[in-house]
Amino acid sequence: MLNFKNNVKIMLMASKTNTKPRTKTGSVQAVLDHERLNSLINSMADGVIATDEEGKIVLYNAAALDVLDVNSIQKGDPIEKVLKLTNENNDLLDTKGIILNTKIQTISRDYKINYTDGSVISIYLSISPVHHGYGKEGDKGFVLIIRDITREKSLEEERDEFISVISHELRTPVAITEGAVGNALFLAEKTGDVEKIKEALDNAHKQAIYLEDMINDLSTLSRAERGVLDNNIEDINAHEFVESLQSLYQPDAEKKGLKLYIDVDPKLEILRSAKLYVQEIMQNFITNSIKYTEKGSVTISAKAVEGGVQFSVTDTGIGISKSDQARVFDKFFRSEDYHTRQQNGTGLGLHVTKKLAQLAQAKITLESELGKGSTFTIFFPNLK
């Protein structure tokens, strides 16, 4: 970076006509330095703009055009003509003043640029004053390095929101568990009421299961987002697979007084896919259907579709409103509907399902009506 700034100094001096005449050798060297600097800055992925001490542009690279979303920059133009900085509230800032008042290298990730089409990007901006040593001739100026960090900022904001929500979601079950266990200990010591103690411990156990589910969902989500889940492609006998799901979830359905049916197309062929993904997705759909169905039935269906297999899980449960359907696969989404809120849930299950479906190149559709139930359908293509 030091050599780069020194070369920029040469460019800043060469940009003025009032520099002293150089020797032939000095002129050749200056030209070589000029060409090397141009090659250097044009090879950089970040936008680079150099200005004189008045804030007028003396050089720039192609990446700067991309970041600023302009076709060209005229040397000698004031920097504020092409770089219009805004703050988090999209208020226009004094770009020239910010640059000219910079005394030491300053780096910021808080500035934005508003494009003419209305879109906004967040930028990394480094401003480095170019100073000459005592007694040296030439002009001063500034070197700006600009980078589009919109995606990085978005991920940071999502991470911060994720941590905030996780903290909130964990606080409640931990507090309930602590209270329930404390109550059980108190009852054991003071009254010995076995039924009350069992009730308190049962409450604590439910919260522990909730925490376990959240940890499992978070672990699966983390691996799915990093694409590191086992994705071994294998032949899946769809008939046997659906029957195994029925056997697995029959006890849960019976516990709630529900019927669990299967409806398998006799023409169904072998599905070639990642069995882990298919199993996780179908289990999420089935557990959700059983959880949000108080009476009636849950039906697991499978039929042959060109290029793969289509599964569906239909229930006679509480259903999902039109507005909630648009957000049901969002991370940590929990409906405000009273019937939904009666059930414990991490708000991660369907989000994990969506991520797994993307890895399996599968397509999910949802049909639902409040009070009449829901049908989640997913098409798994045969993978190579």
- What contacts 4, CB < 8 A, 6 or more positions away? 37, 40, 143
In sequence order, the β-bridge partners of residue 365 are 377
273 neighbors 311 (Cβ within 8 angstroms): no
What's the CATH fold of domain 2-148? Answer: Beta-Lactamase (3.30.450)
Scanning 138-193, the segments in alpha helix (DSSP H) are 150-190
Q: Which amino acid is at 124?
A: Y
What is the Cα–Cα distance from 2 to 8, expressed in whole angstroms? Answer: 10
What is the Cα–Cα distance from 201 to 333, expressed in whole angstroms? Answer: 29
**How many C-beta atoms surround the C-beta of residue 9 within 10 A?**
21
Return the pLDDT at 165. 64
Query: DSSP of 195-250, one letter per residue?
Result: HHHHHHHHHHHHHHHHHHHHHHHHHHHHHHHTT-S---EEEE-HHHHHHHHHHHHH
Residue ranges of domains in the chain: 2-148, 150-228, 230-384
Return the pLDDT at 134. 44
Return the pLDDT at 155. 75
What parts of the chain have a pLDDT lower than 50?
A: 1-2, 10, 14, 16-20, 133-136, 338-341
What is the Cα–Cα distance from 274 to 376, expressed in whole angstroms? Answer: 19
Return the pLDDT at 238. 92
282 neighbors 245 (Cβ within 8 angstroms): yes
Q: pLDDT tens digits for 120-137?
A: 999 999 999 987 544 445
User: Which run of H or E residues covers position 271?
Assistant: strand 271-274
Phi, psi (degrees; rounded to nearest 5) at 156: -65, -45
In CATH terms, are 2-148 and 150-228 the same topology? no
Q: Which CATH number fits domain 150-228: 3.40.50.11740, 1.10.10.60, 1.10.8.60, 1.10.287.130?
A: 1.10.287.130
Q: CA 239: distance to chain centroid?
A: 36
131 neighbors 111 (Cβ within 8 angstroms): no
Any idea which residue has 């559709």 for tokens? 365
Give CA angle at 168 (163, 173), nearest 5°: 125
In sequence order, the β-bridge partners of residue 124 are 147
- What contacts 236, CB < 8 A, 6 or more positions away? 270, 271, 272, 273, 275, 278
Return the pLDDT at 289. 93
Return the pLDDT at 2. 42
pTM of the model: 0.52
Pick left, alpha or beta for residue 296 (phi over 0 → left; psi -120 to 50 → alpha; otherwise beta): left
Question: Domain 230-384, what architecture?
Answer: 2-Layer Sandwich (3.30)
